[in-house]
Structure 1
């Protein structure tokens, strides 16, 4: 008989995989890989996500790893900017190419009607081959010259978000930086070829790697959760091929959940500390069914850019930086006296972290 896991058990499993049950004593590069990357369209948000996950986190480590090209920022899962390891960018970007192209067409279908996207991609690749960093606007304006059609912004976004694998260069995404995004081809930045699309012969292996990595960071989870995280279609066949190496559970609704056999599934009664999450954190967004971590009544907060506070493992408040320093917390439910004290203590620690100056500042 298949074992059942209630919401609390799934919650603790997620917290453990995402280093939110206890902070990881691990290098930042390893932590980013093990949580499946961090959503990063808001450039400063991953720093809070890592502060809540990594013991003794130093934001300068992210700056250093970006400069060393070991961490990269690029459009990836769900066409959102993610902070991932260079190795994962190299593995995962080809597997997402068709999705990225489909999503950009969905956004700009009317504007791109009649545009030969393969020709546009070829012209963009030739433009970027000189190795000069360019902004989205620079790329769009260069491609628009002598070619009546979509506005430069549409052309630029189509290129950097979909048609050509590109990376956002530092200082974008470094601590306390407000630098705009400039782009280079991912292959040039990594110093190794990055296929535009995954080779059909390697597609199953690439999909299997993605499934294992997702379950390691977010399991136990359903196939619908996997798709919600990455946005990719066609993975059920990969999951079916992996079944013999996975274990199966049922949730309280009867959905089948799959997992890696040796992945942590802590006791549901283990205490969960208060944790402050950044906007769009994947610990919440990484599922189709987010009930393990946020109540349905508050689900909209997870896609509205609200920063969330986990209290006893679940979203119990929102937070923001307060004017003049400090952290302002808005509860979503009544807290016990012990919960209020723990939230206040963690908020004070977070305020101290946010006040840290940039390197050399």
Structure 2
């Protein structure tokens, strides 16, 4: 990755970081100030994972960040098992490297179980979860089952309990991955389960039950460092919002002697890794298209470095996070892709394709042209065989 962006020296680093300075810092670390010459595996590791609720989102997320990215590069990593898809951070679908999965999954286990309890605790009251997990492990040994299939098999011995609740409960209790073709480019369908230890060919080590155990504390500190490398400078609340873990203040405080400490414009303490790049706040930020649920948009509790609260309300609608367009580094539009579909709803690659940008604000003529050009590049990536491609820009005129 190029390091041509101006970096502030230690003596010039401000005590207070403006929102614009924070914006440029996170864009640098998210590979969005310039496309990086990194292989896909290295990028997934650097970013501490990619949101994967929607099958195409990780592919678009890497396309917007990397030079010469092609869909086969990520699909190959899924097939060779060096990148896996699973429920992880915040209990949501992510793509992470196999190595990161093995230490992240035990750390987010409480998050997954908390989500299970909120969604299905009443429906499964009195259920022995440890017994359920062992039975599910036996049913999955040596094979892959969809969540629905596993839920129905578990329900056969538990009359009256909803199969859906049992399938989701097993997912929260066991280290599972979702093998391809599920989650590959343009490939959805029912979520398949495989035991992570079998898929990866290595056990997923459990953390000690006592959070005060040094091994447990070390894993949480590793989580904090990885977050700051990809999203910093950031507050304790930011780390917790990204990971879903709570009570990380003591862990950050233990790391304090190893970290740089700043303050935001609101006075909140912000932490960062020593030596991490802080670009000049005036460095130009190119137009970038982000997929739905991109971690840049959801990876902080305080998202004002990326968008105003009013924009956040338009972009983050309930449980949905819309695809967004960055102009001068901040969210200033949403976008959608319209691909030609046949009678059964399947995408027909050689049909017409259109990309629509819905601007929230007026932009300059130069910015509008940059949006159109970057949109055309995305459309060529997403629909390379389309008979006709069109970029449409709506919203306030310049």
TM class by shorter-chain length?
over 0.9
Range that drifts further, 99-108 or 301-310: 301-310
Aligned partner of 1:312 in structure 2 is: 328
Q: CA deviation at 1:178?
A: 3.1
Aligned partner of 2:125 in structure 1 is: 113
Given the alignment, which residue of 322, 343, 360 partners 1:332?
A: 360
Aligned partner of 2:200 in structure 1 is: 190
Alpha-carbon displacement from aligned partner over 1:264-320 (angstroms, at most 9, x marks no partner)? 110000000000000011001000000000111011313533110000000010000
The SS at the match of 1:111 is coil
Aligned partner of 1:285 in structure 2 is: 298
Q: CA deviation at 1:176?
A: 2.1
Q: CA deviation at 1:181?
A: 2.0
Aligned partner of 2:348 in structure 1 is: none
Q: More relative contact order in 1 or in 2 (CA 8 Å, sep 6+)?
A: 1
In structure 2, C-alpha distance between the alignment counterparts of 1:137 and 1:322, rounded to whole Å: 30
Aligned partner of 1:138 in structure 2 is: 149
Alpha-carbon displacement from aligned partner over 1:122-170 (angstroms, at most 9, x marks no partner)? 11111112x111000110011011312321111111112x111100010
In structure 1, C-alpha distance between the alignment counterparts of 2:147 and 2:309, rounded to whole Å: 37
TM-score for the superposition, normalised by structure 1: 0.95
The alignment covers a number of residue pairs equal to: 355
Aligned partner of 2:246 in structure 1 is: 233
Aligned ranges for residues 255-294 of structure 1 at < 5 Å? 255-294=268-307
User: Over the residues paired in the alignment, what is the CA RMSD in angstroms?
Assistant: 1.4
1:82 has 2:94 as partner: yes
1:150 has 2:150 as partner: no
Q: Do 2:292 and 2:324's aligned partners in 1 also have CA atoms closer than 8 Å? A: yes
Q: Which has the higher helix share?
A: 1
Q: Work out which of the two has the higher radius of gyration on C-alpha atoms and give 1 or 2.
A: 2
Q: CA deviation at 1:2?
A: 6.9
Aligned ranges for residues 241-256 of structure 1 at < 5 Å? 241-256=254-269
Q: Do 1:97 and 1:197's aligned partners in 2 also have CA atoms closer than 8 Å? A: no
In structure 1, C-alpha distance between the alignment counterparts of 2:291 and 2:46, rounded to whole Å: 18
The SS at the match of 1:288 is coil
Aligned partner of 2:28 in structure 1 is: 16
In structure 1, C-alpha distance between the alignment counterparts of 2:76 and 2:225, rounded to whole Å: 28
Q: Gapped runs of 5+ residues in structure 1?
A: none
In structure 2, C-alpha distance between the alignment counterparts of 1:93 and 1:149, rounded to whole Å: 31
Aligned partner of 1:48 in structure 2 is: 60
In structure 1, C-alpha distance between the alignment counterparts of 2:33 and 2:108, rounded to whole Å: 31
TM-score for the superposition, normalised by structure 2: 0.87
In structure 2, C-alpha distance between the alignment counterparts of 1:181 and 1:356, rounded to whole Å: 28
The SS at the match of 2:270 is strand
Alpha-carbon displacement from aligned partner over 1:27-79 (angstroms, at most 9, x marks no partner)? 10110111111111111111111100111101101110001100000000111
Range that drifts further, 171-180 or 147-156: 171-180
Q: Do 1:69 and 1:86's aligned partners in 2 also have CA atoms closer than 8 Å? A: yes
In structure 2, C-alpha distance between the alignment counterparts of 1:159 and 1:187, rounded to whole Å: 15
From the superposition, tell whether residues 46 and 180 of structure 1 become closer, same or farther in structure 2 (CA, over 3 Å): same
Aligned partner of 1:32 in structure 2 is: 44
Range that drifts further, 85-94 or 145-154: 145-154
Range that drifts further, 60-69 or 228-237: 228-237
Q: CA deviation at 1:199?
A: 5.8
The SS at the match of 1:21 is coil
Q: CA deviation at 1:326?
A: 2.5
